[in-house]
Structure 1
Amino acid sequence: MAAAPTQLAFALFSLLFLLASSATAAKHKDPQNLIRSSCVHASYPTLCLRTLSTYSGPANSSRDLAQAAVKVSLTRARRVSNYLTTKVAGKSKKERSALSDCVEQMATTVDELSRTLGELKHLRGETFQWQMSNAETWVSAALTDEDTCLDGFDGVDGQLKSDVKRKITNVAKITSNALYMINRLDESRGKNRLNP
Structure 2
Amino acid sequence: MAISLFFFAIFTLFTTPSVLTSPSPDLVRSSCQHATFPKVCLHTLSLYNSQATTPRELAQAAIKVSISRATKASDYLSTLQKEAANKREKGAVKDCAGQMSESVDELRKTLGELKELRRGTFRWQMSNAETWVSAALTNEDTCLDGFKEIDGRVRSDVKRKVTNVAKVTSNALYLINRLDHP
Give the structure-1-normalised TM-score: 0.80
Is 1:109 the counterpart of 2:103 in the alignment? yes
Residue 145 of structure 1: CA displacement?
0.2
Deviation at 1:136, TM superposition (A): 0.0
CA displacement at 1:87 relative to structure 2: 4.3
**Deviations, residues 113-162 of structure 1 (Å, cap 9, x unaligned):** 00000100111111111000000000000000000000000100000000
Match of 1:71, as an amino acid? K
Structure 1, unaligned stretches of length 5 or more?
Answer: 1-9
Report the counterpart of residue 156 of structure 1 in structure 2.
150
1:42 aligns with 2:57: no
Q: Report the secondary structure of 1:123's partner residue.
A: coil
Q: How does 1:133-148 map to 2 (within 5 A)?
A: 133-148=127-142
2:61 pairs with 1:68? yes
Q: Name which of 85, 97, 100 aligns with 2:91.
A: 97
Distance 1:110 1:56 in 2: 24
Identity %: 57
Q: Given residue 131 of structure 2, which amino acid in structure 1 is its aligned partner? A: T
Shift of 1:56: 7.5
TM-score by length of 2: 0.86
Q: How many residues align?
A: 172
**Partner Cα distance (1:31, 1:159) in 2:** 44
CA distance in 2, matches of 1:101, 1:67: 28
Task: Determine if contact 2:59/2:176 at 8 Å carries over to the other structure.
Answer: yes
> Counterpart of 1:169 in 2: which secondary structure?
helix
CA-CA distance at 1:31 after TM superposition: 5.4
> Which amino acid letter does the alignment assign opposite residue 79 of structure 1?
K
- Check whether the contact 1:102–1:152 (CA below 8 A) recurs between aligned residues: yes
Which one-letter code corresponds to 1:139 in the other structure? V
Rounded Cα–Cα distance in structure 1 between residues aligned with 2:98 and 2:143: 8
CA apart distance, 1:55: 3.0
Runs of 4+ in 1 over 3 A off after TM superposition: 28-32
Amino acid of the structure 2 residue aligned with 1:178: A
- The structure that has the greater radius of gyration is 1
Which one of 72, 75, 80 corresponds to residue 82 of structure 1? Answer: 75
- CA RMSD across the alignment: 2.5
Tell whether the 8 Å contact from 1:98 to 1:152 is kept in structure 2 after alignment. yes
Uncovered stretches (5+) of structure 2, i.e. residues with no partner: none
Q: Note the 1:18-57 alignment, pairs <5 A.
A: 29-30=22-23, 32-55=25-48
What amino acid sits opposite 1:97 in the alignment? Answer: G
SS in 1 for 2:26: helix
